[in-house]
Structures are given as structure tokens and as C-alpha cells.
Structure 1
């Protein structure tokens, strides 16, 4: 976009130019509480037209667990495959030290299933694997400042299974593992991240798309969709993909009414971040 925004009202306006859609999940298909039926319908319409749809999410769990979660929220169609940050993080865990301190809720322990690792207390750990906060309803990054300093004093590697800083949960913003990885990096700690915006998750999504279509793909055939500037948008553009920006997501407060954004403020916001979506839509439909 050279000074102007390509505002669209439906995915169908641009989807015919692509063979594959890589869609974010949280913020695009649901907000952690409610499913967005219009988004599901839009992706299903794309599928019915022959476009392969791969959901690409920074959820720190394996894809069957994410599928169970979104099904429980009411998302029952609109995709062919799911690729998660948890899926690609397993390789980092597999290649790393065996004694792991798990930083995150118990619901994420499936990440280690089938891996030859040992979950230990903090003082025994050779590596930290962070999937989130122990209690993301009440805690903030400040609650972990002392713990992160202890990790840094021992020079422990910090594997981040969810690079998101925050996500929407209903009408609130909830901190994710990425906030702690950010703070650990600021202390000079070593972080390892495979989810968006980093390459491994896009390589996995590309492989899934090629398998679905039964052929190699050019990146110009792929449209990414997302609402996170530092994850979805940056990751797609760094990988050489077109990105459809969903503006009523986590950054909506930057440019007025989420459903009718101030286009000048929105253009200035995108310019500040140096990103150039091929189109902008308030909510996917």
C-alpha cells in the first residue's frame, strides 16, 4: 500500500488470486470465548472453491488439542490442516537438554508426550520451556521478574512455545509466553522460538499445504491472514507471503472504532511498523 489502504469487506474479494490460505486462529476465528461464525464461513467458502486452508497458530499445544479447543468453541469447518507453535516447538525440545522446567499451565503438558525428557523443579533444570503463565487470569510479567533473573543467573536457555505477547480473551487482553521471552531476552538471556514470526512454523505450514495440493507451491500463491503485527504480519512478510490484516484484533485500540477504523490512523499505524498488507478487513468474513 503506497499511502492508501486496500480496505475490503469480504475474503472473497481477493481469495481467487490464491491457492492456499494460512489463517491465524485466535483473533481471527475466535477470541478465546466466542467463535466468529462469519470468519469460519468465509474460510469454508474458500475451501469449497478449491483453496487449501491451513490454520497456523501460536498456541503452545499440539494440533489435536487445538482442534479440540476450537471445536468446543463452535468452529467445526473452514480448514484442512492445523499447524501449531507447539508442533514445531517439540523439535526444539527434542534437540535440547533433557531436564526441563515447565513454565506454564498443566493443560500444556501434552507438548512433551512421547519425548524422552524429564520435568523437574527449577533448581534442577537445564532448560526452561515456557508455554505461558501459571495463571494468566491474574498474573502479569512483573510477577515473574525474580524468576527470570534466577534463570539468567544460571544462563538457562528459554524455549518459548507461544511467541504472542498478548491475545484477546473475550474483551480483555491476556499475557502469553512471548511476554516472558521478551523480558528474558532483555536480561540478555538466550531464547529459542519456532512459532510466528519465525521461519520453522511457516516451513511446516508450507509443507502441509504442498501435501494438500499434491504439488510444490510458489509463495505468491499463498495468502496469510492475521491480526498480530509482530507475529502474523511480520512473519508472513518476512517469509515472502501476502498478508490480509484483520484490524479489529489486538491492535484495534490504536485506530478508533474496531469495526470502522479511522483509515488515516490505521495507515499511520501500519507505516510506523513498516508493514504493507495487501488488504485490510475489520473482521474476517
Structure 2
């Protein structure tokens, strides 16, 4: 059974490292949650390290730019590990070929333009029209506010027939941008897979992004064991299943994507509803909190 807590500080003492999700935990896509920011600052002030572990289909550089714009203080975290970073490594190493069709908005340009030094010697990736592609890199729909997965069924049928692999840069199905729920690359990848296409995913719950997180802290001289990590997230398919797969403890933030499931008070999830739902989903987060604070 999960323990419902009121604040991170109640249970943080045994942990050296936090893997903290962004959307739904630290911000809503438009504004930061001040109490969540304060919780991370307090954890670091006591000697802990924080990795902002996100399924954003962009590199850590683009994620940091956005967090800077939102006003996130740099003393709230040590490193950023993004699904886009893990996807970029696979892309540059030729996981889906060298000629790729990019399915996604222009804001994900950094995947192709900001190349880590240790990958500079890899052959160049060429972005080509769909008809010339050896593979697909999917960072989301072209129009995330209006498109649906079904809009891409015809193109996916042609891609599957040609045997094109899809690199999925964000396994999330949806995300809440303020009050609006929009689809992510994971929803497109799910349809392609259901149609028989081959999908390779790199963000939570899949191992590559956790390797990026470990390497990011190792580069700062910070090493740790799994039992010293607490993963914080609101996504059941991504954050919670990813933590279970990695064998690390999790703090489930119910006030994010699943906020409507656990009673009228988003700050205090109903224990009976929570327990029944977690059992049905076969999820076992060690701790649960309404909102990160």
C-alpha cells in the first residue's frame, strides 16, 4: 500500500537523488508551481541532487531555455535528462537509417542542430520528404492543438508497408498545457505500432533516458545506487512504470494527469479511491502526494 504524504520533506531523508518529472509536477506547461520549486530547493540545500527527468522530445538545451523563460531558479536542480537526448543518440547512431522523415513541429529543431561533442564524428542525418525516407523520427504531431492520431493513418500505412522504423522521442500519450490536453508523440507511435509498424522509444518508461540521467550526474562527479533514488511523477505509463522497471522508489503526484480520479480535493487524494485504482493498474508507488510540495 502506498503512503499518502503531505510534503516531500517527510520522506526525503533516505534519498540522495531525485528524478523529478516536469509537466504536471513542476509546472503545467505555462507556469511553475512555486511549492514544487521550493521542495526541490530544500532537498538540494540538504545535500541531495536533482535530475529533471522529462519526456520532452527536445534536448536538455531546449528544455533549459524554456525553464529559464519560466523563471526556474538554477538552485532547484543539478541536471536535465530529456527523452530528446536519448532519442538523439539513437538517431545519430543510425537506429532508423540516415535519411529520416521528421514528424513533428518546428520547435524540436535542436535535435538536429545541437550535436554533443562525443557524437560529432557520426555520419550526418539527412531530413528528407516522406517518399525518400529510410525511417521516421516522431517528436509529435505537426499541429499539436488540432491533429489527432487518425490524421496520420494513411501515411502510417504507407510507412509500415515500406518497413520504416519510427523513433519515438516522447512516449507520453497526452500532456496538459494549462487547461488544455494535447496529444504527444506517444499517441502517434501507439497507433503506428497497432498498425504493425516498428517503434523504438527512448523516454520513460524505457531504459535509455535513465542512462542519460545517470550519465548527467556522473559528469558532475555524483554517483549513487538505486536504493538512494526517488522518482517523482504523475504519469502512470511513464513515471510509475519506469520507476518500477528500474527498481527505484516512486512518489506519485496525483494532482497531474490523473487529478480527476481521486476525489474533489486535488491536494488530498481520497485513500480508498487511490488504493483501488493503484491495485487495478498493478502499480506500487511507495509514496503518494496531491501536489509536489
Q: Does 1:208 align with 2:205?
A: no
* 2:251 pairs with one of 241, 244, 247: 244
Are 2:31 and 1:7 aligned? no
**Which residue of the partner structure matches residue 197 of structure 1?**
205
Return the offset for 1:44.
Answer: 0.6
User: Runs of 4+ in structure 1 displaced over 6 angstroms?
Assistant: none
Cα distance in 1 for residues equivalent to 2:183 and 2:35 = 26
> How big is each residue's C-alpha offset from its partner over 1:1-23, in whole Å with a ceiling of 9 and x where there is no partner?
2xxx4111111001111011110
TM-score, with normalisation over the residues of structure 1? 0.95
CA distance in 2, matches of 1:103, 1:82: 24
How far the C-alpha of 1:95 sits from its partner, in A, is: 2.1
Query: Per the alignment, in what secondary structure is the counterpart of residue 159 of structure 1?
Result: strand
One of 126, 134, 145 as aligned partner of 1:137:
145
Q: How does 1:94-173 map to 2 (within 5 A)?
A: 94-96=92-94, 97-113=97-113, 114=115, 116-173=124-181
Which residue is 1:92 aligned to?
90
Residue 79 (structure 1) aligns with: 77
1:269 aligns with 2:277: yes
Q: Give the C-alpha shift of residue 261 in structure 1.
A: 2.2
Match of 2:118 in 1: none
Compare 59-68 and 257-266 and name the one that shifted more. 257-266
TM-score if structure 2 supplies the norm length? 0.93
User: Contact (CA 8 Å) 2:21, 2:232: kept in 1 or not?
Assistant: yes
Corresponding residue number in structure 1 for 2:286: 278
- The residue aligned with 1:18 is 15
Structure 1's 218 and 191: CA in aligned 2 closer, same or farther, altered over 3 A?
same
Q: In the alignment, is the contact (CA less than 8 A) between 2:250 and 2:287 conserved in 1?
A: yes
Structure 1 range deviating more: 43-52 or 269-278: 269-278
Instruction: Please say if residues 8 and 280 of structure 1, whose CA atoms lie closer than 8 Å, have aligned partners that are also in contact.
Output: yes
